[in-house]
Amino acid sequence: MYIVEVRNVNKTYRQGSTQVRALKDVTLVIKKGEFAALAGPSGSGKTTLLNIIGGLDRPDSGKVVIDGIECTQMSNAGLAALRLEKIGFVFQAYNLIPVLTAIENVEFVMLLQGIPAKIRRAKAKEILDEVGLEGLYDRRPSELSGGQQQRVAVARAIVSEPAIVLADEPTANLDSKTASGLLDIMVRMNKERGVTFIFSTHDEMVMDYAHRLIHIRDGEIYNATQQP
C-alpha cells in the first residue's frame, strides 16, 4: 500500500525577474512503513518536494495523494486538517513553542485534535520517556540542549500516530554523536511502531541509516535505490 503518491508534479518559483523551476515532472511513491531519504545538494528541490508532500506548499501541476486522500485541490482549511491528522513534522530549527514546556510542546498537536487532557498527558509522558527525556518534562526549550530539543520535536511528531513523519534536515544542527542517537530513536520508532519516515538530507550519516535513498538533483529524481 502506498502511503504517499506524487504524480507528475511541477513547481516553479519566481525570484525577482527570473523563474526557478524547483521540481520537474516528479513522480514518486512511498510505501507504508518505509524509512526513506530524499538525498541531494542544497537547491536540488528536496525541501520543496517534502513541503508539497506535507501540504505546506502546492504544486503548479500534478497530483499528490496522502494515505489514500487526493489533496492537490484541497482548500487551505482542508490541508490544515490533513496535516493535523495525517502528518508529523520534524524541522531543522526544531520549531518548538518557547513558552511551553517539553511535555506541553508534545501535547500541543493532541490539544488541537481535541484529545482529553488526561490522555494527552499520559501519551506525552510515555513518548518522552521513549526518546530518553524522562524527568525533563517541565523544561522549556531554552533549558534543553539542541539534541534534547530535537528529541522533543520527534516526540511531538509521532505522539498522535500520524500516517507519515516528514523530517527536513533533522540532524543539520547536531553534532555527529547526538545525530546518531536521534537517528537510532527514529529507526526504533519505524521498526516498533511502524512509523513511515521521509527525510530530506545531504548528510551522509542520514543516508547510511535510510532503507531507501531517493536521489534528487536540479528538481528531478534520477535514482531511487533500496539500501542493503
pTM of the prediction? 0.89
Q: Tell me the mean pLDDT in the region 99-110.
A: 96
| DSSP 8-state symbol, 36 | E
* Mean local confidence (pLDDT), 159-171: 91
Q: Tell me the pairing of strands 35-39 and 212-217.
A: parallel
- Alpha helices, DSSP H, located in the chain: 46-53, 76-86, 102-112, 117-130, 146-158, 176-193, 204-209
pLDDT exceeds 50 at position 228: no
Amino acid at 161: E
CA 159 from centroid of its chain's CA atoms: 13
With 60 as the cut, is the pLDDT of residue 227 above it? no
DSSP at 56: S
For the domain made up of 34-58+76-226, give the CATH fold: Rossmann fold (3.40.50)
- What would the mean pLDDT of 104-119 be, rounded to a whole number? 95
Question: What gap in Å lies between CA 2 and CA 97, rounded to an integer?
Answer: 33
pLDDT more than 70, % of the chain: 98
Residue 34: φ, ψ to 5° = -75, 160
- Rounded to an integer, what distance in angstroms lies between the CA atom of residue 50 and that of residue 144? 27
The winner for highest mean pLDDT among 67-71, 73-77, 100-104 is 100-104
At residue 172, the pLDDT reads: 84
Q: In 3-state terms, what secondary structure has residue 183?
A: helix
* Position 103 confidence tier, pLDDT thresholds 50, 70, 90: very high
pLDDT-above-90 percentage for the chain: 72
For residue 119, what pLDDT is reported?
A: 96
User: pLDDT band at residue 37, thresholds of 50, 70 and 90?
Assistant: very high
CB atoms within 10 A of CB 65: 16
Among 101-105, 167-171, 179-183, 191-195, the range of highest mean pLDDT: 101-105
- Residue 1 has a pLDDT of 76
Q: Indicate the pLDDT class of residue 187, thresholds 50, 70 and 90.
A: very high
pLDDT at 127: 92
Instruction: Tell me the torsion sign for CA atoms 135, 185, 123, 143.
Output: positive
**Cell of residue 63, nine digits:** 497530483
Q: Are strands 35-39 and 196-201 parallel, antiparallel or unpaired?
A: parallel
